[in-house]
Amino acid sequence: MAHLPQVLVFGPPTIFTQFEPQYSHKYHFLNAWASSLPLDQFLHTHNYEPSSIQAILCAGGGTPVTVHVLSVLSSVKLIVTTSAGLDHIDLLECRRRGIQVAGAGSLFSEEVAEMAVGLLIDAMRKISAADRYVRQRVHSGPWDFPLGSKLGGKRVGIVGLGSIGFEVAKRLEAFGCSIFYNSRKEKPFISYPFYSSVVELAANSNALVICCALTEQTRHIINKEVLLALGKEGVMVNIGRGALVDEKELVRCLIEGEIGGAGLDVFENEPHVPEELFGLDNVVLSPHAAALLKSLPLICVTLWQGI
Per the annotation, the verdict on 241 as an active-site residue is: yes
What gap in Å lies between CA 140 and CA 236, rounded to an integer?
34
**Out of 87, 111, 249, 268, the residue judged to bind a second copy by CB under 8 A:** 111
Per the annotation, the verdict on 288 as an active-site residue is: yes
Per the annotation, the verdict on 3 as an active-site residue is: no
Candidates 96, 92, 40, 44; CA nearest to 63 is: 40
**Out of 38, 50, 64, 148, the residue judged to bind a second copy by CB under 8 A:** 148
Which one of 41-49, 99-107, 180-188, 270-278 is the stretch in contact with a second copy (CB under 8 A)?
270-278
Q: Which residue, 208 or 291, has its beta carbon nearer to a second copy?
A: 291
**Cα 239 to the center of its chain, rounded Å:** 5
Per CB under 8 A, does 127 bind a second copy? yes
Angle between helices 109-125 and 163-174 (to 10 degrees): 50
Shortest gap between Cβ of 61 and a second copy (angstroms)? 8
CB within 8 A of 254, min separation 6: which ones?
A: 261, 262, 277, 280, 282, 283
Q: Which residue, 20 or 200, has its beta carbon nearer to a second copy?
A: 20
> Segment 174-203, which members bind a second copy (CB under 8 A)?
174-176
Count of residues in contact with a second copy, rule CB under 8 A: 60
What gap in Å lies between CA 7 and CA 52, rounded to an integer?
9
**Cα 285 to the center of its chain, rounded Å:** 12
What gap in Å lies between CA 215 and CA 282, rounded to an integer?
28
Q: Could you give the residue numbers annotated as active site?
A: 241, 270, 288
Residues engaged in binding a second copy (CB under 8 A): 11-14, 33, 62, 110-111, 114-115, 117-119, 121-122, 125-128, 130-135, 137, 140-145, 147-152, 170-171, 173-176, 270-273, 278, 284-289, 292-296
